[in-house]
């Protein structure tokens, strides 16, 4: 779990994770983009990002996020065959 503060306009450039990501917006709102969608995620909303799914996050106003990443590999789950669909 990571508590992250972003100023309006700040961006987390495209990246992936080897686990499922949950992003809970505590303050502000962000735009979450994947290859398939672009969604605004607002206060109190939770966004889920699948294993190895490329994504970008942009703060549309000053925002506070609680980001949780499952550590599947550490739990012995093989994610090597996963793909971003």
CA atoms within 13 A on the CB side of 53: 20
Query: Which pTM value belongs to this model?
Result: 0.80
Tokens of 12: 């987390």
3-state secondary structure of 68: strand
Question: What are the pLDDT digits (tens) for 9-66?
Answer: 999 999 999 899 999 999 999 999 998 899 999 999 999 999 999 999 999 999 999 9
Domain ranges in the chain?
2-73
Bridge partners, residue 25, by sequence: 65
Q: Is the CATH number 1.20.1560.10 carried by domain 2-73? A: no
The answer to whether the beta carbons of residues 32 and 65 sit under 8 Å apart is no
């Amino acid at each position: 779990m990571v508590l992250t503060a972003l100023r309006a306009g700040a961006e987390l450039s495209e990246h992936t994770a080897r686990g499922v990501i949950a992003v809970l917006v505590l303050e502000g709102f962000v735009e979450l983009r994947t290859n398939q969608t672009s969604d605004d995620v607002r206060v109190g909303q939770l966004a889920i990002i699948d294993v190895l799914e490329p994504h970008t996050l942009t703060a549309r106003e000053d925002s506070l996020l609680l980001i949780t990443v499952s550590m599947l590999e550490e739990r012995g789950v093989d994610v090597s065959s996963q793909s971003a669909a």
